[in-house]
Amino acid sequence: MAIQPIRLFGDPVLRTPAEPVVDFDKELRKLVKDLTDTMMDAPGAGLAAPQIGVGLRVFTYYVDEQLGHLINPDLDLGGEVDEEGEEGCLSFPGLTFPTPRAISTVAKGFTMHGEPVTIEGTDLMARCFQHETDHLDGVLFIDRLDAKQRKLAMKAIREAEWSGLSSPVVKISPHSTQGRAL
Ligand SMILES: [Zn+2]
């Protein structure tokens, strides 16, 4: 297990477009494992490499009990849009907003072994693929909200306990010092 800290909104890495993967090597396989372990631990339905501070076009997903990953994704969106689906992001802990997304996607990319793959997704899978591919372009789900929801989101972000923390939140057990203050 190699669980990595998840970067929070405000960390510039989340706004930096990621680079395509060129070398399908041992390092890449380690990155996929770290992403998978971190996503499953969170737990989350998807995690993109920039969310653990790595600027490469890689994401993992766990939707409808299907665990997978995609390298250098290229997405085609279906025409129909779900305007109301609630969406959240591990980089915005505790917040969800209705986020418009295409209901179906066809994702082309590669496995960590460099084999080409095509994955067709609908509903939550399609939503996840759009969300994660956006991460690789430095785009966040709050960018996809309508004006009213975005205003609500910005307010909720300002009020969130993690707001302004670009480093990971360290959770300290209240019993770790037998109640004594440090
Ligand atoms: Zn996200």
Q: What pLDDT digit, counting tens, does each position of 62-121 carry?
A: 999 999 999 999 999 999 999 999 999 999 999 999 999 999 999 999 999 999 999 999
**What does the pLDDT read at residue 163?**
86
Percentage with pLDDT > 90 across the chain:
87
| pLDDT surpassing 60 at residue 177 | no
| Residue with more model confidence, 163 or 136 | 136
Task: Give the pLDDT of residue 164.
Answer: 78
The pLDDT of residue 157 is above 70: yes
Q: Catalytic amino acids?
A: 132
Q: How far is the CA of 43 from the centre of ligand 1 (A)?
A: 12
Question: For residue 178, what pLDDT is reported?
Answer: 43
Distance of CA 24 from the midpoint of ligand 1 (Å): 24
C-alpha 87 – ligand 1 centre gap (Å): 9
Q: How far is the CA of 144 from the centre of ligand 1 (A)?
A: 12
How far is ligand 1, taken at its centre, from the CA of residue 79, in Å?
23
Q: Cα(70)–Cα(177) distance, rounded to whole angstroms?
A: 43
Question: Three-state SS across the chain?
Answer: CCCCCCCCCCCHHHHCCCECCCCCCHHHHHHHHHHHHHHHHCCCCEEEHHHHCCCECEEEEEECCEEEEEEEEEEEECCCEECCCEEECCCCCCCEEECCEECEEEEEEECCCCCEEEEEEEHHHHHHHHHHHHHHCCCCHHHHCCHHHHHHHHHHHHHCCCCCCCCCCCCCCCCCCCCCCC
Please determine, for residue 35, whether its predicted confidence score (pLDDT) is greater than 60: yes
Q: Is the pLDDT of residue 166 over 90?
A: no
Reported pTM:
0.89
